[in-house]
Structure 1
Amino acid sequence: MTAADPTTRDARRRPGISVRVRITATVAVLVALALAGAGAIIYALESARLENAASAQADQEIAEFRQLQEKGKDPNTARPFASVEDLLVVFLQRNVPSDNELFSAWIDDESKFESTSEHSGFSRSPEFESVVRQHLRKGGEELFDSEVGEVLVTVQPVQGTRTGGALVVVTFLDDSRGELKELIETYTIVSLLSLGLITALAAWQAGRLLSPLREMSETAREISETDLSLRLTETGNDDITSLTRTVNDMLARLEASFTNQREFLDAAGHELRTPLTVLRGHLELLDAHNPEEVGETRALLLDEIDRMSRLVNDLILLTKSARPDFVTTGPVDLGALTDLVLTKARALGDRAWVDDGTATRTVHLDEQRITQVLLQLADNAVKHTVPGDTIAIGSSDEGERVLLWVRDTGHGVRPEDRERIFERFTRSTVLRGDDGFGLGLSIVRALVEAHGGTVHVEDADPPGARFVVALPAATTGSASGSSSSTDLPPDTGHADTIRFEAVRPDVEERPWPAS
Structure 2
Amino acid sequence: MTVQHGDGARTSLRTRIVLPMILMAALTLAASGAIVAAIQYREIHSTMDQHLTRTRDELRLLADEGVDPGTGQPFAGPSELLRTYLMRTVVGEAEGEVAFVGGDVKWVASSDVTLRLEGDPQLVDAVRTLALGDEIVIRSLQTDQRDYRVLVAPVVFPTGQGALVHVFDVDLTFQQLRNTMLVYATVAVAMLAVASLIAWPLVGRLLRPIDELRVAADSIDEGDLTTRVPVTGRHELAALSATINRMLDRVQRSVEAQRRLLDDVGHELRTPITVVRGHLELVDVADPDDVVQTRELAIDELDRMGALVGDLLVLAKAGQADFVVPRWSDLAALTDRNFEKARTLGERNWRLEEVADVEAWVDPTRITQAWLQLAANAVKYSETGSVIALGSRLHRGVARLWVRDSGIGIAADQLARVRERFARAPEASTHAQGAGLGLSIVESILAAHHGRLEIESTPGAGSTFTMILPLAPVDDATEETA
TM-score (norm 2): 0.42
User: Which has the higher Rg, Structure 1 or Structure 2?
Assistant: 1
Greater share of helix residues, 1 or 2?
Answer: 2
